[in-house]
Amino acid sequence: MSAVAILFVFIIFCALYLRGTRRHINHPPGPKPLPFIGNILDMPSSHPWETYREWRKTYSSDIIYLDLPLQPTIVLNSFEAATDLLERRSGIYSDRIKSVVVEMLTWDFSFGFMPYGAKWRTHRRMFHQWFYQSSVKTYCQPQLEHARVFLGLVLKSPGDTRKHIRFLVTATIFAITYGRKILDMDDEYVIAASKSIEGINQAAIPGRFWVEYMPFLRRIPSWVPGTYSRRFAEEHIPYVKGSVDKPYLETKEAMDQGTASPSLAVTLINYVKSRYGDTKDEAQYDETARNVLAIAYAAAADTTTAALESFLLAMALHPDVQRKAQAELDAVVGPSRLPEFEDLEGMPYIQAVLMEVLRWMPVTPIAIPHVTIADDEYQGYHIRKGTTVIACTWTMTRDPEVYPNPDRFLPERFLRGDGTINPDVRDPTTLAFGFGRR
């Protein structure tokens, strides 16, 4: 396709878009859009949460409107707005936008990106069947075992602590999901999973790829400016497919040979066989089990690693906090053993430290965007059907009215005068992992 033809298609595309967007003018405040391209150039390609926080100050609004081709977008910068829309009105605020880059990466296997429908419900049901809240206790023992190994590695080579953290998380998750023992970070499974997650983390940044607003760019040769998304997808696809398919197929092969170690994969494969074996639904549920296992790793790997790294950074920057936490640990656990999960209940200061880590450096500074399935009105503003809704956790965890001196690391903000947890201060876990049904 010639450059002239591309330009012509683009102009027609923008003209049709503008005709649709001008029907409603009562939008929330936001950056002034340019003719034809709207706010595309205003979208930050890195650390967008910092820009969203500044926009809240600039426009004195908890809701920011962005005029983007085919994707009218609002950013929610307060817990109240996110709760009002994504929780209380979840019936119309819980769909997902069809992401072009996610589809190009073949990451659409994840039910986190699926639109509402039978396939989404099947995946969600199976995932929650084995990862509901009370089931977490099932996985305590392997976490403790790998934590002990991690401590030994840190003592041996403290300079490699960040590497040891990723190894701890990766080895624990693979042991639980696939029963596979990871010996080092050069393991092919680890590399595939890490590259796969690296790809989706980039794809999840709103405004990172122009192809989301101009889908026809995915069909244009990669040498044309603005088509980086195509090269990006081609680089990551092998790792995505490898992280989803290979460990699952090898587990099935080991089961056939009678050499499989106990794991969640073995449990799910047996479940599918016992319930759907030799039926027309077996292939569908086998695929669902494969996807759920891959999602289990992806959902925990980067978030847990990020939280642990943030904790260590906080301790390095605030030795006074570290000393207080160590004193409480010594008082509860003593010098003759290592801590167990049950000890945490008697350590409110350490609980407060963990809460402050999630507030100070949230692992998901912006949640996966939602999409409206119907027109709506909120605070006098019109929110039309098909609007992308981004909840900015970063701004919420730095709301000075809720968390005074928000840029400081202060575990004491979560404690009463008697040293117990203060339930009147908003627990960051209520917003750190997203809102609503999704």
- Per-position DSSP letters for 97-140, written without gaps between them: ---HHHHHTTGGGSTTSPPSSHHHHHHHHHHHHHHSGGGGGGGH
The answer to the question of residue 313 being in a domain is: no
Residue 289: pLDDT band with limits 50, 70, 90:
very high
Q: Indicate the residue among 269, 301, 333 that finishes a domain.
A: 301
pLDDT at position 3 is 45
64: part of which helix (H) or strand (E)?
strand 63-66
Its domain, for residue 392, covers 1-26+33-97+318-438
51: part of which helix (H) or strand (E)?
helix 48-59
Q: Specify whether 336 is located in the same domain as 432.
A: yes
- Report the residue count for the chain: 438
Per-residue pLDDT, averaged over 107-126, amounts to 88
Tokens 């039926």: give the residue.
279
* Domain at 55, CATH number: 1.10.630.10
Q: Which residue has the higher pLDDT, 39 or 219?
A: 39
371-412 tens-digit pLDDT: 999 999 999 999 999 999 999 999 999 999 999 999 999 999
Q: Specify whether 51 is located in the same domain as 145.
A: no
Neighbours of 417 (CB within 10 A): 7
Whether pLDDT at 246 is above 60: yes
Q: Specify whether 15 is located in the same domain as 159.
A: no
Q: Specify whether 255 is located in the same domain as 181.
A: yes
Residue 8: pLDDT band with limits 50, 70, 90:
very low
The answer to the question of residue 311 being in a domain is: no
Based on the structure, what is the number of domains in the chain?
2
* Least confident piece of the model among 6-15, 136-145, 239-248, 254-263: 6-15
Per-residue pLDDT, averaged over 179-207, amounts to 84
- Cβ atoms of 41 and 73 closer than 8 Å: no
Per-residue pLDDT, averaged over 272-301, amounts to 91
Q: Specify whether 218 is located in the same domain as 122.
A: yes
Whether pLDDT at 135 is above 90: no
Share of the chain above pLDDT 70, in %: 92
Give the closest residue to 68 by CA, choosing from 394, 400, 371, 428. 371
Q: Which residue has the higher pLDDT, 321 or 45?
A: 321
Per-residue pLDDT, averaged over 244-261, amounts to 93
Average pLDDT of the chain is 88
Q: Which residue has the higher pLDDT, 324 or 222?
A: 324
Per-residue pLDDT, averaged over 262-266, amounts to 93
Give the closest residue to 127 by CA, choosing from 150, 111, 143. 111
Per-residue pLDDT, averaged over 300-313, amounts to 90
The answer to the question of residue 102 being in a domain is: yes
Q: Indicate the residue among 301, 328, 363 that finishes a domain.
A: 301
